Amino acid sequence: MNRIFADLPNTIFDVMSQAARDLNAINLGQGFPEDPGPLDVREKAADAVLNGYNQYPSMMGIPELRQAVAKHYAHWHGLQLDAMSEVMITSGATEALTGAILGLVEPGDEVLLFQPMYDSYVPIIRLAGGIPKFIRLEPPHWLLPEEAVRKAITPKTKYVILNNPLNPAAVVYPRQNLEMLARICQEFDLTAICDEVWEHVVFDGREHVPLITLPGMRERTVKIGSAGKIFGLTGWKIGFVCAAPKILRVLTKAHQFITFTTAPNLQVAVAYGLGKADDYFTTMRSDLARSRDRLSDGLSKIGFPVLKSQGTYFVNVDLAPLGLNETDEAFCRRLVHDFKVAAIPVSAFYEEDHVTSVVRFCFSKKDATLDSALERLSKALHA
């Protein structure tokens, strides 16, 4: 058995969703909306499955979707991509990340990672024979620390993985901080693998800046997106990978033996959705921001120290000032068992030197769900 996988626990998302089901708890753990998603996009998928899109589509993704991705990023970010040589469709961002890591990382290569980090990166880096090097980010600002990045770099460092907007921290990195990373990538000849699945879920007029659009990064960045987050259809698992032809060519070779291709009817619907008018995306943001405010304000009123959410479906609270004498993990366990609310302990996103006082709540839920959760959370804090 391969120890890399045999020794892993089940992902915290699955553990918490299962606990929520078993205990009949309100699930503010795993990030998914309670809303069923845009009807017109779902109708396109249904129509496509009834009218022909059911056999293997092209390995790279259907041309309509690759063109729609290129057009979407040109419109939103001024990023010019050649749809045929620089865009590939995958089965979710998870597959895109796996393919990018397996396709690029060679045994002995060091890969810089910012903790807290999404849980799929490290096992795949290890599978590729790469060596993860961890840089610790901290609340309340979670900014990328230049000195620590420079200190972590050795002659073996080849890649950096950046998740922006950052799940679970709910920060949208400011341009200046990204420019620092871009300069370092060029100084040390690093390639960036950018997990930008949350690119559209940004609030308060914030702008998502794709690292690939910064000067000098166009040829050394892999940009990964996901329709799951753009349309609030997390089960669809339609991902996009964008990179210069010399990089994408290699990632294609990995993709062809991971999943080879991706459900064609869903690709048709996503191609349609990416062309929706700007107000769909801005309304989605303001609706989510309203839910964020409802949960954040409620948590503050109860007495939780709230870390303001700039993007994603998540808001965090820092338990440290409360003096509960309890780790995030213990708190989440008590919360789901005794008060029937599932949340995610942020320490699960660290591999070493854990931050153990931050708890993540998902707010992409109906008002009534958030209100019931708040009632229970109030009891938990004042028990």
Interacting residues with ligand GLN (CB under 6 A): 11, 13, 30-31, 167
Cβ closest to ligand PMP, residue 126 vs residue 237: 237
Burial (CB < 10 A; 0-12, 13-18, 19+), residue 7, is exposed
Only one of the segments 130-138, 152-160, 233-241, 252-260 lies at the binding site for ligand PMP (rule: CB under 6 A); that segment is 233-241
**Smallest separation (angstroms) from ligand PMP to the CB of 381:** 27
Q: Which is nearer to ligand PMP, 9 or 215 (CB)?
A: 9
Q: Is 118 in the site for ligand PMP (CB under 6 A)?
A: yes
Name which position in 15, 70, 83, 93 contacts ligand PMP (CB under 6 A): 93
Contact region with ligand PMP (CB under 6 A), list: 2-10, 231-239, 245-253, 359-367: 231-239
Nearer to ligand PMP, 130 or 239 (CB): 239
Instruction: List the structure tokens of 170.
Output: 């709910």
Instruction: Tell me whether residue 32 or residue 331 sits nearer to ligand GLN (CB atom).
Output: 32
Q: By the 8 A CB rule, do 238 and 228 touch?
A: yes
For ligand PMP, which is the closer residue by CB, 163 or 316?
163
Residue 320 CA to chain centroid, in angstroms?
25
Nearer to ligand PMP, 97 or 268 (CB): 97
Listed residue (212, 239, 218, 217) closest to 227, CA to CA? 239
Note the helical H segments in the chain.
3-6, 12-23, 39-50, 63-77, 83-86, 92-104, 121-127, 146-152, 175-187, 227-230, 245-258, 264-274, 278-302, 328-339, 367-381
| Closest residue to ligand PMP in the complex (CB) | 92
Q: Which of residues 20-79 bind ligand PMP (CB under 6 A)?
A: 31
Rounded least distance, CB 189 to ligand PMP, Å: 25
Q: Which residues of 238-251 are buried (b: 16+ CB within 10 A; e: fewer)?
A: bbbbbbbeebbeeb
Contact between 210 and ligand PMP per CB under 6 A: no
| Residues 346, 111, 181, 284, CA torsion sign | negative
At residue 61, φ and ψ (nearest 5 deg) are 110, 155
Nearest CA among 105, 113, 119 for reference residue 133: 113
Site membership for ligand PMP, residue 130 (CB under 6 A): no
Among 86, 195, 199, 318, binds ligand PMP (CB under 6 A): 195
- Interface residues with ligand PMP (CB under 6 A) are 31, 92-94, 118, 163, 167, 195, 197, 226, 228, 234, 237, 239
